[in-house]
Structure 1
């Protein structure tokens, strides 16, 4: 299979992972490339590189959980394939759990229903490793129990189960990519910022880096361009339909290591400040990626230290150019 000459829609395409996926999709030479993003987290500037390469790229600012609006848009654009990344992030659920849970499940349900009614053919849905919760056994394969510890995690698990049920019950053509922790340029640095851009921003502002808890929590990080390519490879492999595939490095790294690396790389002289752990924080994450290796030939192209150095350099340049961010 190939995305060449296809009409493709990316929900959440102005966000962190979404914009890198758009960059990668431009190189696939689709007939039509459409982004839908309500800019809750995304930014139009994230698509600047893609627009230079493909001036015909279309961007719609709307909520992708609105069934009628999305149906009208998809039919007008002749959409064949949807990469579904629209999401309300984890930190939002600590402030507004009901809205976060409902909206994340509504986003996925809308895509599943549109596929059921043949508005488009193929759905590649983005899940989250948060659906697993803390590791019961390691490494965590796709059969690991779904034990999410936050309403966000529960919403992602529920969305996955729902899409799988639509595959079995209604025969929709869908695959689920379950990325572990992504990092790289363009990760949200504002509200709900990830630990890496937030730490870089603190150090640039003359503040001490912060670790919540003891810092021994582990994550499995993957550079964002590796995730984008994996999503394309999943589409190109028909055997992935009705399946969930972990996409990760298969290596765990502690939060303490990450913060320490950033501080050393940036020449920070201030001691790390330890604060109480955050509610629902998972203790250990490390992925088993054998299924992705077997089905799509998945390989990590950028190792963590190299990718983290690239990321720090990008953010230092970004914050220097945008001091008010």
Structure 2
């Protein structure tokens, strides 16, 4: 179902758009036809621009300056490229291009579980799947369905994949999750009783851990769950152990046009990794995100009761928080 939605929207934009433009040109002239075509081609980019510019007026996470105009424009352009790639190619047409990689003779210390975000599918991770296979690291990337159902419904699919990876290597996998996927990981862990032997670490990329204002515009079940004051999020947090953040690395950016205010992407006690001038989807394609995942694959388990100390604290940041700004 998820892939069908993406194929339909992609075909609508790239087939219906030119056909409609041709019809308008035949009726009202070439200028009108080109204007309609420009709307289909450039419309999504122009629609996204105000959401980036508005971030200039939102308070950043503690210790960060307000996003500069040049950073917001750079983030917008990077996001246009990422959105075009993901929603018009990888997810509609190449979601099954790279199968899960579960080699019986693997020597990797652990596998990687890849969880996509809202309105996406496993095709989001195509670049990661290529690199993980080349690096000899087992992985499973699932498509979370129903696409617009409750986040709790994804737990059984995640649990089955986590068990397969752990059976392969003998160690709990690393979870890498984009956006809503980080909440799916938390909901899954709650469903297994927060068992410490089922989890290594969770790397979240732009996850609305404390909700996002933008979700107030959504009407689907999982969109409503991601609202900043949703009963679902409040109950999830209430039922989690106090040291939950010790299992998390939270990569985020104050130019994220989807998850804002930016500090909602952070969990208390987690390692905080800030990427400037990147939009929401672009976080997936940053080399720093993949590099951090590989570090965590090879890292020894961390005692969540001990907070790691930063090697270089961010200027102006709270010294009690582990934080790092990445280039």
Q: What TM-score do the two structures reach when normalised by structure 2? A: 0.36
Structure with the largest fraction of helix: 2
Give the number of the structure whose alpha-carbon radius of gyration is greater.
2
Structure with the largest fraction of strand: 1
